[in-house]
Amino acid sequence: MKEEIVTHYVKKWLQEHKQPILYENQKLGIDFLIGNFLLVTHWAIYFCQIECKGTKSDIDRAVGQCLRYYHIYDSIPTYLAIPKDYKQLRDLQEVVEFFELPIGILLVDNEGKVTLKRKAKGKRRIYKFYQNEIGHLVNRVIHPKLHFKT
């Protein structure tokens, strides 16, 4: 299954479960950032993020990207969505479990059904966005120790 198809099914699954997609990008960075954003106050709550990969994707690159996104977004739960027939699924699970990585795993079958294989570790985060000197919104963690049940 191609990465674009996995991404399509994950997006459909998120929409069916009424999960608010704050950010979606298939070219640069994480595929989906899930959370709520209050436009008036510029507050955001990040719930989780999802990186999608296809059947032929490299396991090392996929794990490395997920760990990088986990770090960049202050340890919010990070999921790797892969096809159920992913050739390196067993290796992926062994690496994630052996090193106790915070990455969760979502499996996508050929009919588009998404199932949770492993729950991600991490905490939801609250951010406040500010305008910098050139007018761009930048974010800062408001309550780094405040977290919610996931």
Q: When comparing pLDDT for 145 and 46, which is higher?
A: 46
Q: Is the pTM of this model over 0.85?
A: no
Alpha-carbon gap, residue 6 to 85, rounded angstroms: 12
pLDDT tens-digit map of 117-146? 999 999 887 777 665 555 555 555 444 444
Question: Of 89, 25, 31, 79, which is closest to residue 57 (Cα–Cα)?
Answer: 89
Alpha-carbon gap, residue 9 to 23, rounded angstroms: 16
Percent of the chain exceeding pLDDT 70 equals 79
Question: Of 35, 83, 39, which is closest to residue 59 (Cα–Cα)?
Answer: 83
Question: Which position has the token pair 């977004």?
Answer: 73
Q: Where are the domains of the chain?
A: 3-123
What pLDDT is recorded for position 146?
Answer: 40
Alpha-carbon gap, residue 7 to 51, rounded angstroms: 8
Alpha-carbon distance values, 35 to 21, 84, 101, 147, 150 (Å)? 6, 26, 22, 13, 12
Question: Which position has the token pair 């994480």?
Answer: 30
What pLDDT is recorded for position 144?
Answer: 43
Alpha-carbon distance values, 31 to 25, 36, 95, 97, 123 (Å)? 5, 16, 22, 23, 19
pLDDT tens-digit map of 68-81? 999 988 889 999 99
Task: Quote the mean pLDDT of the chain.
Answer: 84
Domain 3-123, CATH? 3.40.1350.10
pLDDT tens-digit map of 4-26? 999 999 999 999 999 888 888 86
* 3-class SS of residue 91: helix
Residues, the chain: 150
